[in-house]
């Protein structure tokens, strides 16, 4: 039987090649595939694009060739065998999609001729739209895919057959919830990827945007795409001169350091927490004073004012047009003129108007950047299509070139900004974490008591995800992976802490209800006391596809909890595979489930070893006093250096990689002995 099937497969591959318009396929050599571009090919016994199954009918003896494993049994065929795989250019592979037309002979054997109800995958790319102007901004590719008989593991996006990247999965799609039964999870069937403009075809004319979905068992479904004829669209002008002339600030005739600090808001978030804790440390230096400017108020205002810092709420950071942006700059220049400031600190990419202001006022600026994004992608995602070609976009480019120093928590995040600023001005300094406070809380927290208060069983194996519930953090992806392994780990529970409501939260709850996981997965609101959760859980998991150095992971490691995270940007610098935790591929349900299954299957001693190593690593890299000392020294050097030279010279004392001290690589001066808090 096997020999006949293989012979049939070879004949079938040739037939498929003719159907697709190419020559007869050849098996790939041992060294791997080598097929001319655009030539369809088939091969046996190798992992490839589209699986090819063969089955026979028990009555007629007919053979069925299918690309979907479940189709044979649904039609009454037996002896279903995987012959190999097919390879074709993705824009042609749509012709191999699962059969959707009536089967003329099906009624003769008591089968329905309507196959629309079979458990076959379906979906579509529904954005971009034909005629979209995409040349000057990141291209948003979105769609949906449902695979009733399988779990979609990942979705890859292609343009003209070229792989562009893995899409974010489990994106809410409320428009599909009314069209499909709940057990097919339509609420989280969406996918999305932002493709930078530099990756788009340079030639004129239309191009084809498509996707390929892969199930956990390796089957592939070519998601129908869309052909678009893009219009040029406006490109941002990178060298636009400011409409408001620079107004250098007068140098104050006094000792000390007066700082004007910008942050994008004062609400909940890792970047805001970073600024508050850093200013708290810097405020202990003699002569340091600070005014914090934010466009929105929030919970951190009270802590800042309690530490002695002035807080000013000045809306306008989001103005994109030239008139609105320059009106905001005039308002800020008045603030600078009245305040007698020595320098500007900026926190997060959104605060580029503060760095632009510093250049105009003749002040040096130190800018902490946390966002791990391609800049074109960031502008499209946060400001929309109109932001990509805006006047504000040009001023952000000028700000990156003019800042005295750019501070990053990880090397991976810094690498994203190398095309936009002088790397000699980069400073890599891992975040400080209040380790003594965590140690005190661990000593005082009674695990059994706190578990009772939280309603957690004494013997439960609890996986914690502490993060704001939103698409970027991937809680729906984590829940889907948990659903895959929950049956093998009956004591496992998943706690998703950080809910603030919204469409993503609603879609996540719909998925949990349809999956029957409501009793084992709990969604908890954002908390002001994360330590109570860290003290009672067994595993920490974060499925984010974009991260730099999340505080939640640092806290979990400081509590001695092994961490599971995605292999993106700065996370591999925190979590070392097999040493302090586990790393999985981003936006991949199968790999996340594999790692989750492995972590839940570990015994106490193995998890304990990972947790102890994680705690050591955090204590070695993230001392808050050492980090504050490094930033303080950087501020002093900036204060002593004319701002006009900041945009062209390296920070004084920095080595080639932008470190503040000479002796190391990425973690320069991190491992030095923490100094006592300075009273300078």
**Distance of alpha carbon 472 from alpha carbon 416, whole angstroms:** 18
> 566 and 480 share a domain?
yes
β-bridge partners, 43 = 85
> 55 and 197 share a domain?
no
β-bridge partners, 584 = 566
Please report whether residue 454 resides in a domain. yes
Omega cis (within 30) before 128: yes
Q: What is the DSSP string of 8-47?
A: HHHHHHHHHHHHTT-----PPPTT-----TT--EEEESS-
Report the candidate in 285, 289, 308, 409 with the shortest Cα–Cα distance to residue 676. Answer: 285
**Distance of alpha carbon 82 from alpha carbon 66, whole angstroms:** 10
**Distance of alpha carbon 658 from alpha carbon 413, whole angstroms:** 14
Residue 662, Cβ density class (10 Å: 0-12 exposed, 13-18 middle, ≥19 buried)? exposed
Scan for tokens 């991976």, then name that residue.
412
Report the candidate in 198, 181, 64, 225 with the shortest Cα–Cα distance to residue 138. Answer: 198
Kindly state the tokens that stand for 454. Answer: 């939280």
CATH number of the CATH domain containing 281: 3.40.50.2000
> 423 and 568 share a domain?
no
Please report whether residue 675 resides in a domain. no
Kindly state the tokens that stand for 296. Answer: 């929105």
Please report whether residue 35 resides in a domain. yes
Please report whether residue 657 resides in a domain. no
**Distance of alpha carbon 585 from alpha carbon 566, whole angstroms:** 6
β-bridge partners, 140 = 194
> 446 and 536 share a domain?
yes
Q: List the end-to-end C-alpha distance of the chain, in Å, as a whole number.
A: 85
- Cβ-proximal residues to 199 (8 Å cutoff; 6+ apart), any chain: 159, 164
Global pTM value = 0.78
Half-sphere exposure (CA, 13 Å, Cβ side) for 627?
27
> 213 and 187 share a domain?
yes
Q: Of the candidates 208, 228, 248, which is a domain's last residue?
A: 228
Please report whether residue 672 resides in a domain. no
> 455 and 420 share a domain?
no
| Stretch (H or E) spanning 483 | helix 475-485
Domain count, the chain: 4
CATH number of the CATH domain containing 183: 2.60.40.10
β-bridge partners, 78 = 56
- The overall longest dimension of the chain from CA atoms, in Å, is 99
Please report whether residue 524 resides in a domain. yes
Half-sphere exposure (CA, 13 Å, Cβ side) for 300?
26
> 204 and 329 share a domain?
no
> 394 and 269 share a domain?
yes
CA dihedral 514, 520, 526, 531 (to 10 degrees): -160
φ/ψ of residue 168, rounded to 5: -65, 135
Please report whether residue 41 resides in a domain. yes
> 481 and 552 share a domain?
yes
In contact, 474 and 550? CB cutoff 8 Å: no
In contact, 86 and 96? CB cutoff 8 Å: yes
**Distance of alpha carbon 641 from alpha carbon 343, whole angstroms:** 10
Helix (H, G, I), strand (E, B) or coil at 292: strand
Residue 415, Cβ density class (10 Å: 0-12 exposed, 13-18 middle, ≥19 buried)? middle
Q: What is the DSSP string of 216-266?
A: TTS-EEEEEEEEE--B--PPP-TTPPPSSPP-PPPPPSSSSEEEEEEES-S
Q: What is the DSSP string of 163-190?
A: EEEEPEEEE--GGGTTTS-GGG-GGG-E
> 606 and 572 share a domain?
yes
Report the candidate in 266, 253, 320 with the shortest Cα–Cα distance to residue 294. Answer: 266
> 464 and 378 share a domain?
no
- The two beta strands, 207-215 and 220-228, are antiparallel
Helix (H, G, I), strand (E, B) or coil at 365: strand
**Could you list the mean pLDDT of each consecutive 10-residue stretch along the chain, which spans 680 residues?**
46 42 36 36 40 81 81 82 58 33 40 48 86 73 89 94 94 85 87 90 84 89 85 59 61 78 93 95 94 95 95 92 92 91 96 96 96 92 83 94 96 96 97 96 96 96 97 96 97 97 95 93 95 98 95 98 96 95 97 98 96 97 96 95 46 34 31 29
Handedness of CA 360, 361, 364, 370 (dihedral sign): negative
In contact, 582 and 566? CB cutoff 8 Å: no
**Distance of alpha carbon 435 from alpha carbon 418, whole angstroms:** 32
Expressed as residue numbers, the domain containing 47 is: 2-99
- The two beta strands, 139-146 and 190-195, are antiparallel
pLDDT at 436: 96
In contact, 68 and 98? CB cutoff 8 Å: yes
β-bridge partners, 497 = 466, 524
Please report whether residue 679 resides in a domain. no
* 3-state DSSP helix/strand/coil % of the chain, to nearest 5: 35, 20, 40
pLDDT at 176: 81
> 404 and 490 share a domain?
no
pLDDT at 232: 63
């Amino acid at each position: 039987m096997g020999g006949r099937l293989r012979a049939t497969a070879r004949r079938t591959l040739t037939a498929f090649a003719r159907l697709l318009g190419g020559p007869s396929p050849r098996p790939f050599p041992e060294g791997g595939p080598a097929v001319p571009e655009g030539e369809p090919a088939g091969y046996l016994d190798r992992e490839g694009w589209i699986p090819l199954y063969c089955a026979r009918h028990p009555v007629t003896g007919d053979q069925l060739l299918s690309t979907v494993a479940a189709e044979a049994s649904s039609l009454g065929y037996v002896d279903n065998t995987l012959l190999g795989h097919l390879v074709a250019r993705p824009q042609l592979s749509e012709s191999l999609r699962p059969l959707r037309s009536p089967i003329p002979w099906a009624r003769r054997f008591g089968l329905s001729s309507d196959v629309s109800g079979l458990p076959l995958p379906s979906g579509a790319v529904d954005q971009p739209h034909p005629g979209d102007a995409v040349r000057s901004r990141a291209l948003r590719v979105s769609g949906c895919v449902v695979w009733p008989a399988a779990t979609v593991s990942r979705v890859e996006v292609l343009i003209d057959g070229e792989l562009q990247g893995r899409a974010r999965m489990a994106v809410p799609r409320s428009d599909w919830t009314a069209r499909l039964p709940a057990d097919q999870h339509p609420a989280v069937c969406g996918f999305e990827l932002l493709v930078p403009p530099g990756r788009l075809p340079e030639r004129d004319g239309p191009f084809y945007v498509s996707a390929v979905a892969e199930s956990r068992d390796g089957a592939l479904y070519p998601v129908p795409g869309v052909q678009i004829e893009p219009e040029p669209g406006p490109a941002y002008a990178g060298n636009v001169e400011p409409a408001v002339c620079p107004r250098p600030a007068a140098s104050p005739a006094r000792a000390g350091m007066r700082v004007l600090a910008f942050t994008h808001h004062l609400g909940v978030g890792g970047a805001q927490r970073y600024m508050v804790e850093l200013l708290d440390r810097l405020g202990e230096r003699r002569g340091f004073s600070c005014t914090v400017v934010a466009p929105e108020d929030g919970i951190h205002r009270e802590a800042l004012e309690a530490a002695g810092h002035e807080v000013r709420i000045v809306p306008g950071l989001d103005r994109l047009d030239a008139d609105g942006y320059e009106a905001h700059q005039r308002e800020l220049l008045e603030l600078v003129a009245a305040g007698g400031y020595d320098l500007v600190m900026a926190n997060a990419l959104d605060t580029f108007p503060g760095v632009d202001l510093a250049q105009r006022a003749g002040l040096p600026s130190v800018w902490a950047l946390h966002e791990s994004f391609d800049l074109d992608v960031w502008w499209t995602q946060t400001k929309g299509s109109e932001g990509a070609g805006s006047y504000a976009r040009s001023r952000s480019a000028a700000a990156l070139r003019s800042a005295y120093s750019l501070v990053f928590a990880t090397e991976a995040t810094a690498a994203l900004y190398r095309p936009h600023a002088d790397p000699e001005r980069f400073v890599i300094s891992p975040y400080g974490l209040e380790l003594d406070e965590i140690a005190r809380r661990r000593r005082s927290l009674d695990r059994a008591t706190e578990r009772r208060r939280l309603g957690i069983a004494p013997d439960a194996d609890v996986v914690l995800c502490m993060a704001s519930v939103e698409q970027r953090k991937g809680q729906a992806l984590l829940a889907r992976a948990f659903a895959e392994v929950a049956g093998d780990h009956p004591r496992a529970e998943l706690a998703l802490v950080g809910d603030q409501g919204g469409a993503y939260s609603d879609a996540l709850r719909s998925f949990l209800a349809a999956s029957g996981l409501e009793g084992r997965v709990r969604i908890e609101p954002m908390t002001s006391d994360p330590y109570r959760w860290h003290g009672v859980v067994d595993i920490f998991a974060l499925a984010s596809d974009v991260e730099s150095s999340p505080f939640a992971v640092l806290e979990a490691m400081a509590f001695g909890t092994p961490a599971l995270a995605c292999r993106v940007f700065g996370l591999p610098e925190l979590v070392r595979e097999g040493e302090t935790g586990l790393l999985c591929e981003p936006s991949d349900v199968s790999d996340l489930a594999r790692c989750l299954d492995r972590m839940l299957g570990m015994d106490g001693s193995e998890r304990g070893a990972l947790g102890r190593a994680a705690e050591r690593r955090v204590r070695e890299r993230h001392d808050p006093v050492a980090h504050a000392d490094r930033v303080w020294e950087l501020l002093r050097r900036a204060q002593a250096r004319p701002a006009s030279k900041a945009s062209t010279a390296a920070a004084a004392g920095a080595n080639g990689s932008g470190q503040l001290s000479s002796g190391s690589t990425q973690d320069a001066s991190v491992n030095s002995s923490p100094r006592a808090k300075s009273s300078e």
